């Protein structure tokens, strides 16, 4: 991938900004176009990019760069998953044109000045999208140049804002946030995220790594909190509702694993700032860490043995070697090492974190990042972009500011609250996304409560011991072992497409496509193939059974499945040789 050629292409676009904006304005002058045209995202995307690539002076070699960054990003494992009815992808100027057209059709079509203003917004989004894609190509020429390439991306981003009119929002200032943004859409190939995390850890400076990890922890946790708020509101249940907790834990293996990847270096930097008495750095890091653990502070602070198992993704982290032994993949070994480091570090810094936590308590009448609601991080830029369709758009806040609170800045609260206050949005819909003050306070209270429990020695969990999963061979003489007194794992925690197992009441029926989808997304504690189909044990047992202090046993697992379980949750599994005699 010709990195420097893409840098020079974006600089060429910046140098011809006015000419490109004028062409975009012509595309926006579409009030007489049929509705089919106004809703055709693919066609609009081509017309939009033509505004850039039909410029006088653009070379043949530059024209050939069109679409290359997106193709390379998808080829590296980041092709967005198709989500019917939802835009799942990076910020897309064509999508924002469709939304702008919809708003104008519901209200009034703007004159030339209004179209030019929105054309500048779309131009900025296009450059940011290109820089986000380019940020994932830092390593294409080897690790030694990654830091320099990141500096080049930052340089183009700085240049973008020096050429932008004053009435435009500065969407994002720090190019290091673009690396996390580029990874925000949902995908099917989860391994790409861990490959990127390892490259970041091995090639960039500590300063750059910490900035990237702060962005990652804040945005990933905000996504999960928004998910929790949505289901809590939809089901009219409190945050500690058992079904809500189970759903959050069972469906977010990737997000939990990536949070651990981000939190470990943040905890290391926080510990250093604590010991070196660097108060400002300590507080900045504490804020990011508290946001990172906020989706489930009890899990991240007081049930770390369960967190480890929830964050494991079987098909990525475990394989068989040439001798047929079940072993960790290199990706799995790295993750397990990070889990061990996380457990040690969170134990050492819980007390100073508890002391720092009150700095992030939501303030009445002011904004807290614990209350921001969005699906993917690109949604935040979409909100800012759509507000430029109104003359009163706030321009001095950007993406980074969404995740900073802790003061009585009422301007920021008005900014966030105003994202969905658009003339074509009904008050009923608007109310669904009103800034959730009580939710933000409840999220903070959960963090503080979990930290207090950790610091006080776990009194909050007094009397709740984590149960164990006893693994017994099919021919085990249960009468000769204490294991005979341990209840069997209920069949409802075992799903299978093997109808013989289902008929024998050893598993609940689960069709194979569903089961394999759960396996890919990390929802299974172990899965294996039988002559009649597939079998999987769901991670629901971690909280509902083992987390409740109940021991259970499972009899007759294949040796390979036993090996997988031993690696997926080593501290929770008791193997046959370790079952005490009666």
SS3 labels along 34-84: CHHHHCCHHHHHHHHHHHHHCCCCCCHHHHCCCCHHHHHHHHHHHCECCCC
Q: How far is CA 259 from the centre of its chain?
A: 8
Q: 């977010």: which residue's tokens?
A: 252
Burial of 445 (0-12, 13-18, 19+ CB in 10 A): middle
DSSP state of 581: B
| Residue carrying the six token digits 């750095």 | 281
State pTM to two decimals.
0.94
Per-residue pLDDT at 406? 58
Q: Could you give the 3-state DSSP secondary structure of residue 496?
A: strand
Question: Can you give the three-state secondary structure of 8-39, one letter per residue?
Answer: HHHHHHHHCHHHHHHHHHHHHCCCCCCHHHHC
List the end-to-end C-alpha distance of the chain, in Å, as a whole number.
65
Task: Copy the structure tokens of residue 555.
Answer: 């009899």
Q: Counting Cβ atoms within 10 Å, is residue 315 exposed (0-12), middle (13-18) or buried (19+)?
A: middle
pLDDT of residue 459: 47
The beta-carbon contacts of 73-78 under 8 Å, at least 24 apart in sequence, are 73/133, 73/136, 73/182, 76/136, 76/192, 76/195, 77/187, 77/189, 77/191, 77/192, 77/193, 77/195, 78/136, 78/182, 78/183, 78/185, 78/187, 78/189, 78/192
Cβ-in-10-Å burial (0-12, 13-18, 19+) of 520 comes to middle
Q: Are 139 and 73 in contact (CB under 8 A)?
A: no
Residue 463: what pLDDT?
47
Per-residue pLDDT of the chain (582 residues; tens, 9 = 90+): 699 999 999 999 999 999 999 999 999 999 999 999 999 999 999 999 999 999 999 999 999 999 999 999 999 999 999 888 778 889 999 999 999 999 999 999 999 999 999 999 999 999 999 999 999 999 998 888 999 999 999 999 999 999 999 999 999 999 999 999 999 999 999 999 999 999 999 999 999 999 999 999 999 999 999 999 999 999 999 999 999 999 999 999 999 999 999 999 999 999 999 999 999 999 999 999 999 999 999 999 999 999 999 999 999 999 999 999 999 999 999 999 999 999 999 999 999 999 999 999 999 889 999 999 998 889 999 999 999 998 878 888 999 999 998 566 678 998 998 887 887 777 777 777 789 999 999 999 999 999 999 999 754 444 468 999 999 887 654 445 677 789 999 999 999 999 999 999 999 999 999 999 999 999 999 999 999 999 999 999 999 999 999 999 999 899 999 999 999 999 999 987 655 443
Return d(Cα 220, Cα 228) in angstroms, integer: 13
- 106, 35 in Cβ contact below 8 A? no
Q: How far is CA 391 from the centre of its chain?
A: 33
24: exposed, middle or buried (C-beta count within 10 Å: 0-12, 13-18, 19+)?
Answer: buried
Q: Is the dihedral of CA 69, 71, 75, 77 positive or negative?
A: positive
Considering only CA atoms, which of 407, 567, 229, 6 is closest in space to residue 575? Answer: 567
What's the token pair of residue 377?
A: 């991080």
DSSP 8-state code for residue 425? S
User: DSSP secondary structure string, 121-151?
Assistant: HHHHHHHHHHHHHHHTTTTTT-GGGHHHHHH
Q: What pLDDT sits at residue 460? A: 46
pLDDT of residue 408: 62
Write the DSSP symbol of residue 493: G
Pairing of strands 573-574, 469-472: parallel
Interatomic CA distance for residues 311 and 253, integer angstroms: 5
Q: For position 1, what pLDDT does the model report? A: 65
- State the CB neighbour count (10 A cutoff) for residue 280: 8
Full 3-state SS string of 159-224: HHHHCCCCCCCCCCCCCHHHHHHCCCCCECCCHHHHHHHHHHHHHCCHHHHHHHHHHHHHHHHHHH
Coil, strand, or helix at residue 321? coil
Would you say 438 and 233 are in contact if contact means Cβ atoms under 8 Å apart? no
pLDDT at 420: 79
Determine the 3-state secondary structure of 488 from DSSP: strand
């Amino acid at each position: 991938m010709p990195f420097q050629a893409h840098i020079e292409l974006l600089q060429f676009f910046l140098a011809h900004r006015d000419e490109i904006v004028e062409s975009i304005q012509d595309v926006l002058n579409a009030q007489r176009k049929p509705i089919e045209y106004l809703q055709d995202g693919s066609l609009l995307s081509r017309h939009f990019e033509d505004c850039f690539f039909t410029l006088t002076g653009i070379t043949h070699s530059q024209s050939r760069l069109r679409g290359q960054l997106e193709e390379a990003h998808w080829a590296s494992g980041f092709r967005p998953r198709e989500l019917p009815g939802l835009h799942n992808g990076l910020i897309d100027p064509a999508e924002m044109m469709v939304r702008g057209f919809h708003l104008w059709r519901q209200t009034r079509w703007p004159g030339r000045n209004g179209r030019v203003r929105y054309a500048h917004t779309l131009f900025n989004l296009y450059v940011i999208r290109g820089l986000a894609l380019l940020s994932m190509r830092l390593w294409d020429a080897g690790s030694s140049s990654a830091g320099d390439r990141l500096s080049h991306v930052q340089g183009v981003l700085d240049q973008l804002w020096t050429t932008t009119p004053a009435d435009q929002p500065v969407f994002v200032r720090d190019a290091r946030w673009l690396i996390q943004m580029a990874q925000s859409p949902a995908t099917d190939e989860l391994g790409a995220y861990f490959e990127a995390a390892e490259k970041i850890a091995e090639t960039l400076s500590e300063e750059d790594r910490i900035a990237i990890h702060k962005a990652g922890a804040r945005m990933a946790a905000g996504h999960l909190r928004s998910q929790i708020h949505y289901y809590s509101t939809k089901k009219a249940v409190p945050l500690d509702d058992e079904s809500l907790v189970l759903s959050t834990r069972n469906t977010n293996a990737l997000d939990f694993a990536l949070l651990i990847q981000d939190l470990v270096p943040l905890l290391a930097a926080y510990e250093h700032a604590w010991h070196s008495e660097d108060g400002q750095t300590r507080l900045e890091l504490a804020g990011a860490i508290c946001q990172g653990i906020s989706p489930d502070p009890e899990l991240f602070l007081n049930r770390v043995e369960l967190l480890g198992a929830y964050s494991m993704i079987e098909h990525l982290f475990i394989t068989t070697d040439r001798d047929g032994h079940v072993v960790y993949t290199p990706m799995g070994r790295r993750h397990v090492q990070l889990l061990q480091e996380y457990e040690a570090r969170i134990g050492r810094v819980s007390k100073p974190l508890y002391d720092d936590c009150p700095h992030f308590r939501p303030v009445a009448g002011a904004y807290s990042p614990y209350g921001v609601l969005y699906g993917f991080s690109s949604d935040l830029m979409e909100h800012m972009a759509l507000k430029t369709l109104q003359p009163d758009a706030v321009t001095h806040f950007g993406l980074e500011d969404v995740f900073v609170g802790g003061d009585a800045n009422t301007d920021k609260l008005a900014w966030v609250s105003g994202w969905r206050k658009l003339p074509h949005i009904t008050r009923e819909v608007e109310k669904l996304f009103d800034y959730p003050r009580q939710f933000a306070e409840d999220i903070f209270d959960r963090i503080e409560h979990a930290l207090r429990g950790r610091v006080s020695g776990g009194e909050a969990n007094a009397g709740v011991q984590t149960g164990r999963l006893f693994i017994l061979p099919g021919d085990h003489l249960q009468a000769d072992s204490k294991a005979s007194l341990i209840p069997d794992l209920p069949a409802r925690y075992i799903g299978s497409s093997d109808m013989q197992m289902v008929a024998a009441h050893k598993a609940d029926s689960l069709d194979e496509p569903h089961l394999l989808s759960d396996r890919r997304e990390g929802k299974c504690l172990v899965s294996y193939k039988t002559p009649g189909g597939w079998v999987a044990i769901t991670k629901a047992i971690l909280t509902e059974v083992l987390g409740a202090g109940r021991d259970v046993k499972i009899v007759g697992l294949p040796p390979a499945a036993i090996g997988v379980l031993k690696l997926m949750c080593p501290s929770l599994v008791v193997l046959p040789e370790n079952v005490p005699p009666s």
